[in-house]
Structure 1
Amino acid sequence: GRAAPKPRPSATAAQPRHAMSISQGSMDSRAPQARLRRACGALRMQGRLQILPLSMVLVLLLASLPSPSLAVNGGKVMKLDADNFNTAIRENKFVLLSWHSTTCTACEDVSRKLEDAAEKLHAAGSPVLVASCDGNFWGALRDKYGVMRYPTLQWFKYGEMQPYTGGADSAMEIVEWASRKGRPWAAKPDTPEKLKALEATEIAIILAYFKEPKGEAYDTFFRVGDDIEDVRFAVTSDAATAKAAGLKREGVVALTNFEDEARAAVPYKGKLTDEAALRAFVSAEKLPLSIEFKPAHEERIYNRDVPKQLFLLSHARDVVPGGKPLETFREVSKEFRGRLVFVHAALEVPATEPLLKHFGAGGQEYPLVLGLASGAGGGKYMHRGGFNQKELAEFARSVVNGTAQHYYKSANVPEKAKEKGVTVVVSKEFHRIVNDPTKDVLLEVYAPWCEHCKKLEPIMSKLAQRFKDVDSVVIAKMNGEENEHPMVAPRGYPSLFFFPASSEMLVTPYDNGEKPRTLKALTEFVLQQARTPVSDDMLYHPPKLSEEEREEKKLQRHLRTARREIDAKGIYSTGTMDDSSKSFVEGMIKEQLRKEVHGEL
């Protein structure tokens, strides 16, 4: 046997990928022989390998096999922690991992589906290990793998983390996705009929013909096929099957049957041992001239081999075969195959809404062409020239070369400058408000759906109230879902940044990992960072409450909580109670809480 190749470090994709150092021997079915060979090699290097007794051979062979408890786990979801995490990821070729929290209600539903999926995968003989890890309890592991919310699913192949791009509405969705990702690296059609049947199920196939499955050319094809997952690879040793694919001698061919395009058989003309050239060929031929934007095509659109995309957004009549904008777009794509993924989307289709939101591209003139480059140095771009083949090609070239001008989305300027005393910032107004050299600005970047942001909202309001009489200090907030700016790159929500009064446009992040987000802590932070001196007597301090006022405030807080709990049960929202009934119930709750506050119960 021989050791399987090391996995190629992935190009930066739509989400960050984290590579782990792993041994070669855990990579495919040939790994046990490879481990045994290396073990013998180590003994030989030490001059200790003479004639091994059978017992020693068995010991070495058994030591080379993966642990059954990790590789199979009996169809159960394996619980990972700091002790077994690295071993599980290292010793299993494929791992589907769920990050959860014991306080997360949505995690319970996903956990049940994962348990069902693990049983189904095990029954089908899949090599996929299904595992889970409590991110709150094992915070260091959670942070290492960039988990920011629960539940989060991640996929590991050869110890390398990749984003989970499948659905989770049912256990079968999880099973189908994991089965496809964990399937054998290549199909093996040995008759023309089997190749025809394979073509009927795949829109693109990279087929290799080798008289014998060995040698340097075969190894090169294996490395590429085992690493690239978003196109089906196949290998045959049958001359008749190769002839049906258009191969008269050993070689590689791309068989494609894309929607709205005729079947094509494109031969690879480079050296069979040139891995880089073979990868470039696969990247160029595995995709159509333009892909329709929809969830089922997500993996093909955001693939790691071509991490840059060009999007055509227009009305449905423009992005159908024969539509002039789409045909112009496809003509441009021919020059950039393998370097850009061309995507078209109809504005009337609901699936396009996330794309519009991601770019902040609503209300523009259409057709509109947008660019996206993932990872470090990447960004969003908007074509502002004419919609013709020449100018579109120039824009595409600038995206490929990294010379395109960055585009940052922005919400419209709000009618009211402040909300509860906090200044509202949008990208269009960022420089005027945040980079004002006469102002010290504390900016919160938040998301409307973020629970932590909702908890911080009253604190930010009180902070703004505290500094309301200090003209040099601005307490502000910006919706990170609708606005972007190069000076703020939040790793999560909420994120706080301080911009001192300076013409140098400096920024200091507030370390949420070590500093509490309390009124006292944030007040001290602003006072410490402010370039313009602020004394305590300049701050607003509300008058102290009497005992009765504190009790009443506590009562009102309990009452609001009770109302939320009632509303959560649907009593108010479903309309099953009229106004008088609501008043009666609230009166009962209020009286009950008043007795609790006063210690009568």
Structure 2
Amino acid sequence: MRQNCIAILCLTLLAGYGADAGSVLDLGDSDFENKIAALDNTLVMFYAPWCGHCKRLKPEYEKAAELLKDDDPPITLAKVDCTEAGKETCSKFGVSGYPTLKIFKGVDVSTDYNGPREASGIVKYMRSQVGPASKELKTPEDLETFLSKDDVGVIAFLAAEDSKLEKTFTKVSDKLREKVRFGNTNNAAVLKKADQKEDTLVLFRPKLLANKFEPDTVVYDGAFDKDDIEKFITTNYNGLVGIRNQDNSKDYKQPLVVAYYAVDYKKNPKGTNYWRNRILKVAQDFKDDFAFAISNKDEFQYELNEYGVEFSPSDKPIITVKNSKGQKFKMEEEFSIASFETFLKKVKTDELTPFLKSEALPDSNDGPVVVAVAKNFDDVVVNNGKDTLIEFYAPWCGHCKKLAPIFDELGTKLKGEDVAIVKMDATANDVPAPFEVSGFPTLFWLPKDQKDKPVRYDSGRDVDDFIKYIAKQATEELKGYDRSGTPKAKTEL
């Protein structure tokens, strides 16, 4: 009887702890301080159940918790509902928006979390915040564990005494710790297991991405210079065809070839590599001309929309290219190794017309404000022979709607002047270089003889503000206004 009670008690305790094992720890006012005090490294998400951003983060947060469950030193992911059981805790830590994430060391806040919001990015960021930037590999078993992970690892095989590499490696690993997983060792048995010499730096690609088109390891053969080592790592990190996601997309520079398909190394690694290997086969012959990446087509549907792809029923990759000028190209043919190779050759030799997202040409364009679309942009902006003020807007933007009648009045007042007032829907048309539009409305002034050097307009947005600016900046003095923007007296006949 006593044994049965003990067994039941043990099962009850296991059930209680097992609910959180490998998952997100649910905390509230009653247990937050006690539970978190016993943890060395905790990422806490303060959330509200109705919050849309929280709902989107939740599955990624849970995936990250699962990936981190066996880490040493341990990293715990926890959550606090600020609308119910955790109101006081959220108030204590100044939570005013959702989700708010903070990193705790015991009961103390270490720092606000400003890292990625995708599972692999959360994992990498949190690992970079815990312990030294580089993990010491003390045994051959440590080496095997380090190399068994599904992301790139960089190992410094150091000399047992007076290592020439160690000091530089420490600086590099400290700088890149949030992006790269580092290991180091001076253990003779580990060096023997890895078949490496002392003071050697090696980049190891994960076994998951092994292929016959590029080596599994890359050995650094330069001087022990910090900048050179950093360049070596960043150049080789993504390999010939990188796995591009929301967190690392900015690391990929133009000219860039992207293959979009159902990329999923967790649920379907074999199928994912099936298509990646075909991309690799072609990429090896164009590696000096383009960077290459694969991306999940659902995760990057908004990018595909920019190439006119709303939906693709095919399992085959959709191929796009953005060249060094920012021009876009889409492979129209169904994917095959042969069609992919032919497409890249034509992009390389400028045989293809760039893809242009554009509204239809307006039926009439004689209003006070000229309408620009991608198809007529050169005609109505670049080659119109006039000084030009252009507004890039979004139809849903409140500030743009407020500006619309002011812009119309401005166009009416400057009718007959050597100045064009132009607007363009930047959500429905490709914005050409060198214009940079990151918010709405964005306005630029283009002198008629320097259309390649647009000047961002940041002055007032009343009609008089625009007229004063244009009167001062106009290449030739306006007919109806002096240089100060004051109306000229009309000459009576």
Q: TM-score range by the shorter chain?
A: 0.5 to 0.7
Q: Are 2:72 and 1:123 equivalent residues in the alignment?
A: no
CA, structure 1 residues 186+530, in 2 after alignment: closer, same or farther (shift >3 Å)? same
SS at match of 1:434: helix
CA, structure 1 residues 460+269, in 2 after alignment: closer, same or farther (shift >3 Å)? closer
| Counterpart residue number, 1:261 | 210
CA, structure 1 residues 390+476, in 2 after alignment: closer, same or farther (shift >3 Å)? closer
State how 1:335-346 maps to structure 2 within 5 Å.
341-345=291-295
Amino acid at match of 1:431: D
CA, structure 1 residues 121+448, in 2 after alignment: closer, same or farther (shift >3 Å)? farther
CA distance in 1, matches of 2:206, 2:186: 23
CA, structure 1 residues 292+507, in 2 after alignment: closer, same or farther (shift >3 Å)? closer
Equivalent in 475, 478, 483 of residue 424 of structure 2: 478
Cα distance, 1:470 vs. partner? 3.4
Provide the alpha-carbon RMSD of the alignment: 4.8
CA distance in 2, matches of 1:523, 1:274: 56
**TM-score normalised per structure 1:** 0.50
Q: Are 2:184 and 1:235 equivalent residues in the alignment?
A: yes
CA distance in 2, matches of 1:125, 1:342: 43
Amino acid at match of 1:518: D
Deviations along 1:316-354, whole A, 9 cap, x unmatched? 69x95444xx545313434677996421246xx321223
How high is the sequence identity, in percent, across the aligned residues?
A: 18
| Counterpart residue number, 1:34 | none
Q: Which has the higher helix share?
A: 1
CA distance in 1, matches of 2:175, 2:286: 23
| Counterpart residue number, 1:30 | none
SS at match of 1:445: strand
Deviations along 1:538-597, whole A, 9 cap, x unmatched? xxxxxxxxxxxxxxxxxxxxxxxxxxxxxxxxxxxxxxxxxxxxxxxxxxxxxxxxxxxx
| Counterpart residue number, 1:577 | none
CA distance in 1, matches of 2:145, 2:390: 59
CA distance in 2, matches of 1:336, 1:123: 51
Cα distance, 1:233 vs. partner? 1.0
Deviations along 1:449-486, whole A, 9 cap, x unmatched? 5443333223213323444x537554221133432223
Q: Are 1:459 and 1:519, in contact at CA under 8 Å, matched by a contact in 2?
A: yes
Amino acid at match of 2:192: K
CA, structure 1 residues 257+278, in 2 after alignment: closer, same or farther (shift >3 Å)? same
SS at match of 2:389: strand
Q: Are 1:443 and 1:476, in contact at CA under 8 Å, matched by a contact in 2?
A: yes
CA, structure 1 residues 338+257, in 2 after alignment: closer, same or farther (shift >3 Å)? farther
**TM-score normalised per structure 2:** 0.59
Q: Are 1:121 and 1:179, in contact at CA under 8 Å, matched by a contact in 2?
A: no
Deviations along 1:20-44, whole A, 9 cap, x unmatched? xxxxxxxxxxxxxxxxxxxxxxxxx
CA, structure 1 residues 278+390, in 2 after alignment: closer, same or farther (shift >3 Å)? farther
Cα distance, 1:315 vs. partner? 6.0
Amino acid at match of 2:293: V
Equivalent in 457, 461, 469 of residue 525 of structure 1: 469
Q: Are 2:282 and 2:340, in contact at CA under 8 Å, matched by a contact in 1?
A: no
CA distance in 2, matches of 1:440, 1:337: 43
Deviations along 1:406-435, whole A, 9 cap, x unmatched? 968542234454698532212321121123
Cα distance, 1:232 vs. partner? 0.9
CA, structure 1 residues 535+490, in 2 after alignment: closer, same or farther (shift >3 Å)? same
CA distance in 1, matches of 2:128, 2:288: 22
Q: Are 2:319 and 2:330, in contact at CA under 8 Å, matched by a contact in 1?
A: yes
CA distance in 1, matches of 2:225, 2:463: 62
CA distance in 2, matches of 1:338, 1:241: 36
SS at match of 1:207: strand
CA distance in 1, matches of 2:254, 2:161: 35
CA distance in 2, matches of 1:225, 1:340: 28
Q: Which sections of structure 2, spanning at least 5 residues, go unmatched? A: 1-43, 45-90, 264-270, 333-337, 482-493
Q: Which sections of structure 1, spanning at least 5 residues, go unmatched? A: 1-74, 76-107, 131-152, 154-163, 537-601
Cα distance, 1:387 vs. partner? 4.1
Equivalent in 364, 371, 374 of residue 322 of structure 2: 371
CA, structure 1 residues 242+355, in 2 after alignment: closer, same or farther (shift >3 Å)? farther
SS at match of 1:433: helix
CA distance in 2, matches of 1:117, 1:384: 41
State how 1:364-443 maps to structure 2 within 5 Å.
367-371=318-322, 379-380=326-327, 382=329, 387=339, 389=341, 392=344, 409-417=356-364, 422-437=369-384, 439-443=386-390
